[in-house]
Amino acid sequence: MKKLIIAAIAIVGLSFSALAQGLQRDMQFWRPYDQRGLNIFETGKEDSVAYEGMRVRIGGHFAQQWQNLSHENTATPVLNANNVNVNQLIEIGAGTNLATANLNIDVALADGLRLNLITYLSSRHHPESWVKGGYIQVDKLGFLNLGETDWFDKYLTVRVGHMEINYGDAHFRRSDNGNAMWNPFVGNYIMDAFTTEVGGEVFFQSNGWLAMAAVTGGEIQGGVTNPDNRKPNFIGKFGYDKYLNDDLRVRLTGSVLTTKGSQGNTLWGGDRAGSRYYLVMENTLASTAANFTSGRFNPGQRDNITAFVFNPFIKFHGLEFFGNFERSTGKARNETEDRTWNQTGADLVYRFGTYDKFYLAGRYNKVNGTLAGSGLEVSMDRIQIGGGWFVTKNVLAKLEYVSQNYNDFAAADRFNGGRFNGLMIEGVIGF
């Protein structure tokens, strides 16, 4: 009897071990969630993973920061009804931020057919778990039994679902709640182009050339009320991405997003998880969850938007350059005239050591445009300098110094003479 029990335990242990190994195997046409996912943009058409029946892969991302930032402003005091100066900045100091986590589920449904679902388990803005989005990706049509489908299998990818829109290339490098594995810095851009919407996209790839066309509902939650205000988003991308030799990779893409109307488009406010620089430039009434976009800027363009961005990426040996040159024109629903905002971003990263375990990085980021209401022309600029260490392919440690300035804001604006700077340390796990 004792031998039977031991045998049963061994069988159960082997079963769980096999299950764990199966859960962590790579998927077809998929971006790894660890260091191997660096500098992968859209998933390619290389069919390097065999389909062996329906399989579920469970992964995750975890991120934790230690923050030591200070901030200041020169704004004129403005008192609210409770005699509180709403331009007085909240006192902040050194400490740890909320740990954030993502649950990543990928399912191989058929040969060339994959389901992706990401859930935020812990985020700055929401205390509860909630789904970021999910989509189905099609890279082969064999499961439809249509006969010869090489015309699709070799060149095309289709995605359908409530998903991260493919506008620009910066969203492939940004931190996404618990997923900070592919961002060489701690913070994202000042104007953070990111949102999830219901729609579909068709992506073409051949010999380095790429093109994408997408249509979405234009809003993060969608809806059926106020139909006269709701118009679809149209998104396009065209570019070239190829290794010119073993040491030199060149990628250049241009993207456009346009919508003629919206109840509430969130191209510049779609990240509901929150920024990394907790409570910077916020007043004494602020809270971590309610004021979850501190350090960023949303131009308030939620209607009649047209945005363009050009993204060059050059990699030579361990040296990488990524650029983000952007212009967005649009307005809020209560405005009569469009306003324009421009953004410039330039990242320089140098990776070195065995398997590129270490890197040094610097970023310059500037935005400028017209404020809603006042019509003032203002700008913000930021410098980020730091580096990182991939302890293993699944564990990353980062160090960053950040300095951001707010320029030409009105005397009664909280951002008048505004500045924050200091150190950030971040630990990331991805698998």
pLDDT digits (tens, 9 = 90+) for 228-248: 888 999 999 999 999 999 999
- Do residues 94 and 101 touch, judged by C-beta distance below 8 A? no
> In the structure encoding, which two tokens stand for residue 233, read together?
């988003």
Mean pLDDT of 27-52: 95
Q: Exposed (0-12), middle (13-18) or buried (19+): which is 111, by Cβ within 10 Å? A: middle
pLDDT tops 90 at residue 417: yes
pLDDT tops 50 at residue 14: no
pLDDT tops 90 at residue 15: no
Q: Which of 27-36, 221-230, 343-352 has the lowest mean pLDDT?
A: 221-230
How high does pLDDT run on average in the chain? Answer: 93
Q: How many angstroms separate the first and last alpha carbons of the chain?
A: 40
pLDDT at 23: 55
Residue predicted with more confidence, 145 or 23: 145
Q: What are phi and psi of 324, to 5 degrees?
A: -140, 105
CATH topology of domain 2-430: Porin (2.40.160)
> In the structure encoding, which two tokens stand for residue 126, read together?
């929401």
- The pLDDT > 70 percentage for the chain reads 94
Q: What are the extents of the domains in the chain?
A: 2-430
Compute the distance between CA of residue 339 and CA of residue 9 in angstroms, rounded to an integer.
67
Residue predicted with more confidence, 3 or 392: 392
pLDDT tops 90 at residue 22: no
Count the Cβ atoms, other than its own, within 10 Å of residue 325.
15
- Do residues 46 and 26 touch, judged by C-beta distance below 8 A? no
Mean pLDDT of 26-43: 97
Compute the distance between CA of residue 96 and CA of residue 86 in angstroms, rounded to an integer.
26
pLDDT at 385: 98
pTM, full prediction: 0.92
**Amino acid, single-letter form, for residue 160:** V
pLDDT tops 50 at residue 10: no
> What tens digit of pLDDT does each residue of 327-360 get?
999 999 889 999 999 999 999 999 999 999 999 9
**Which residues pair with residue 115 across a beta bridge?**
107, 136
DSSP state at residue 79: B
> What tens digit of pLDDT does each residue of 295-331 get?
999 999 988 899 999 999 999 999 999 999 999 999 9
Give the distance, in angstroms, between the CA of residue 27 and the centroid of all CA atoms in the same chain: 21
